Structure 1
Amino acid sequence: MYNTNYHNCDLSKLQILVTGGAGFIGSNLVRYLLKHGVKKVRVLDDFSNGHRHNLTDFSDLPNFELVEGDIRDLETCKSAMEGMDYVSHQAALGSVPRSIHDPATTNAVNISGFLNMLIALKDSDSVKRMVYAASSSTYGDSKNLPKVEETIGSPLSPYAVTKYVNELYAEVFGSTYDTDVIGLRYFNVFGPNQSSEGAYAAVIPLFMQALKDDTSPQINGDGEQTRDFTFVANAVQANVKAFFASKDAKNEVFNVACGERISVNGLWASLNTAANKKISAQYGPERQGDVRDSLANISKAQRLLGYDPEYSVGEGLKITWDWWIEHMR
């Protein structure tokens, strides 16, 4: 992974902050940047979601710096941005079920923390642009397929509310303070470093663990709900290209996906094939706050970011399964 250049500039002159860099997408972005010779990567993480082992490969590198801190503290955000050229803001509390169980903490991290990052950006004299993790959950109850950035519905969870508020704040800061911010609406990202642990783990790592353990996973609902699953390297590409996109992309949001959809049942069948197994799933109740179908129109990202998904879902699943067998218990 990450042999392809997603950038067309000299990274050796740039210092980049990745918040949530010990997390799933953040640590993959850190890997790309360090592999391609960035001058410095600074990671800001409080390890409430991320894992130290995701950073083990980088900890001794001279161009890697770890700052332990919480984005809910404004001074921490300001300090972390000092001297940086670009910021990738991946730190957040994900998970629809978690937000339903604990909306207050989700709000504090995803909204108050995001606002702190915007204030720090506004006050920074070095950062040229901040790219942040938005979410396809913003589309809410909209039935339109494929999803286009300009048409959303009503939020279906506290998490979706927080991610929509991020977009509103970014737009207002852009018009009020002329900050340069780009949002990436991720669609069901999966890949190496994604954890299967905890009550709020995503479906693909849970499926991977079930296959490794030869156990039946539980599928919520009938399994015919569809998703635009997106391999993490495609999300990394979107982040890197967003850093250096033209001013036409400034203060816009973009879908980050493959533009293809597969049912959860189809996903489980594909993973069985990749693992050369035939394990049946069990079915449980539908999960509160979930959308039924999701499919992205990625033409805006293709046009303004130069985004071009390098990996199909099938290719990503094969890479992820091989990584899972090698690295996970």
Structure 2
Amino acid sequence: MSKVLVTGGAGFIGSNLVDQLVQDGDEVIVVDDLSMGLASNIPSSPKVTFYEHSITDHGFMKDLLLKEQFDYIYLLAAIASVADSVARPYETHQINQEANVFILETIRQNKLPVKKVLFTSSAAVYGNNPELPKHEDSTIDPLTPYAIDKFATERFVIDYGKLYNISTVAVRFFNVYGPRQNPKSPYSGVLSLITQCFKNNQVFSLFGDGEQTRDFIFIQDVLSALHLIMTNNQAVHDVYNVATGKQSSLRTIITDYQKVVGQPLQVKTITARAGDIKHSYADIAKLSQLGFTPQYTLLNGLTDYWISVKEDFLGEQE
């Protein structure tokens, strides 16, 4: 049994990770200020301790790290909205970078015996670089405070690891989808917005021709990738794309999802947004070398996602 810290553990990816860690028999401590996540996402288990707290509180975080002596640390807490980061750049920076560097510094100064620290970055760091697929060593072109902080923190995490002999690793998430994705979030994935439209019989606004492509990865495949990276001793002081290595157009997704739900989606076409990236997908050779193979096709993932949404919907009506 390991003792694990998950910052941002009440969010979409974080809470699914906490579920998995609990299933694996780990003791989990979650720190989340609930600005994006929901307390109801956190499993009620004697193995889970939840602190509703901001990771920017350095005193609190230092005390927690010294007291608990974690085996593994997952750094997921972030202002995840790109628009939010543009509106509040310094506040974003404090959460998305400074708070994480402080955690590394606390580990360094106190020589804490952490087995591995994993930081979650984003495909946003590639920006408008047209090269496809995106390799980990592709040109970086961060266009927003969100992307700048994600890339800078990646480098801090990797280089702190190298300089001070701390086992660290970073991942770049592509388009993750699945249960508990928050459609109210301004950074919400397009799949959670489409799901919301199906659920509430609303019209989906499609920007452009629908031929834009993304690399969509189901949450369970993400959890498998994180487990591999966290437990493989070779995966250290490096960054990994977490994706499927396949691109799907929005039109294909809508067609597949209509099959899953069994009803047509009402679509309203709107002019394409300026600055939107047309195509994006990952090269996952590096992750594959660790033994990763995505298990979920888009159709399988959408089916499981829709089942979870219907279950939640029925629960709300009871």
The TM-score range, normalised by the shorter chain, is over 0.9
Q: 1:302 to 1:196 in 2, by over 3 A?
A: same
Q: For 1:105-184, what aligned pairs fall within 5 Å after superposition?
A: 105-122=91-108, 123-184=110-171
Alignment match, 2:205: 218
Q: Does 1:31 align with 2:31?
A: no
Determine the C-alpha separation between the residues in 1 that align with 2:139 and 2:59: 34
Q: 1:87 to 1:289 in 2, by over 3 A?
A: farther
Contact 1:41 1:64 in 2 (8 A): yes
Determine the C-alpha separation between the residues in 2 that align with 1:309 and 1:325: 25
Contact 2:204 2:268 in 1 (8 A): yes
Q: Does 1:67 align with 2:51?
A: yes
Shift of 1:318: 0.6
Q: Identity, % of aligned pairs? A: 33
Greater mean alpha carbon deviation, residues 185-194 or residues 273-282: 273-282
Determine the C-alpha separation between the residues in 2 that align with 1:94 and 1:220: 21
Paired residue type of 2:170: G
Q: 1:46 aligns with which of 23, 30, 33?
A: 33
Alignment match, 2:230: 243
Tell me, what secondary structure is at the counterpart of 1:317?
helix
Paired residue type of 1:23: G
Tell me, what secondary structure is at the counterpart of 1:113?
helix
Determine the C-alpha separation between the residues in 1 that align with 2:105 and 2:273: 35
Alignment match, 1:309: 294
Tell me, what secondary structure is at the counterpart of 1:249?
coil
Determine the C-alpha separation between the residues in 2 that align with 1:289 and 1:36: 42
Greater mean alpha carbon deviation, residues 313-322 or residues 94-103: 94-103
Paired residue type of 1:65: T
Paired residue type of 2:187: Y
Tell me, what secondary structure is at the counterpart of 1:88?
strand
**Over aligned residues, Cα RMSD in angstroms?**
1.7
Contact 2:11 2:37 in 1 (8 A): yes
Greater mean alpha carbon deviation, residues 42-51 or residues 193-202: 193-202
Q: For 1:257-268, what aligned pairs fall within 5 Å after superposition?
A: 257-268=243-254
Shift of 1:229: 0.4
Determine the C-alpha separation between the residues in 2 that align with 1:240 and 1:289: 35
Alignment match, 1:319: 304
Shift of 1:24: 0.5
Tell me, what secondary structure is at the counterpart of 2:118?
strand
Paired residue type of 1:326: E
Contact 2:244 2:282 in 1 (8 A): yes
Alignment match, 2:218: 231
Alignment match, 2:77: 91
Contact 1:97 1:288 in 2 (8 A): no
Tell me, what secondary structure is at the counterpart of 1:326?
helix
Runs of 4+ in 1 over 3 A off after TM superposition: 285-290
Determine the C-alpha separation between the residues in 2 that align with 1:175 and 1:83: 21
Determine the C-alpha separation between the residues in 2 that align with 1:289 and 1:117: 34
Q: 1:137 to 1:84 in 2, by over 3 A?
A: same
Shift of 1:153: 3.3
Paired residue type of 2:17: L
Q: 2:4 aligns with which of 1, 16, 24?
A: 16
Q: Deviations over 1:263-301 (max 9, x none)?
A: 122212221121111123113344455322111111101
Shift of 1:76: 2.5
Determine the C-alpha separation between the residues in 2 that align with 1:242 and 1:34: 18
Q: 1:273 aligns with which of 255, 259, 269?
A: 259
Determine the C-alpha separation between the residues in 1 that align with 2:174 and 2:208: 20
Determine the C-alpha separation between the residues in 2 that align with 1:251 and 1:289: 32
Alignment match, 1:6: none
Q: 1:226 to 1:83 in 2, by over 3 A?
A: same
- Across the two proteins, how many residue pairs are aligned to each other? 311
Q: Which runs of 5+ in 1 are unaligned?
A: 1-12
TM-score normalised by L of structure 2: 0.92
TM-score normalised by L of structure 1: 0.89
Q: Deviations over 1:52-110 (max 9, x none)?
A: 1101xx22x22111122211122222233332100111111112222223323222211
Q: Deviations over 1:106-144 (max 9, x none)?
A: 222111122122223323523111111111111112111
Paired residue type of 1:93: I
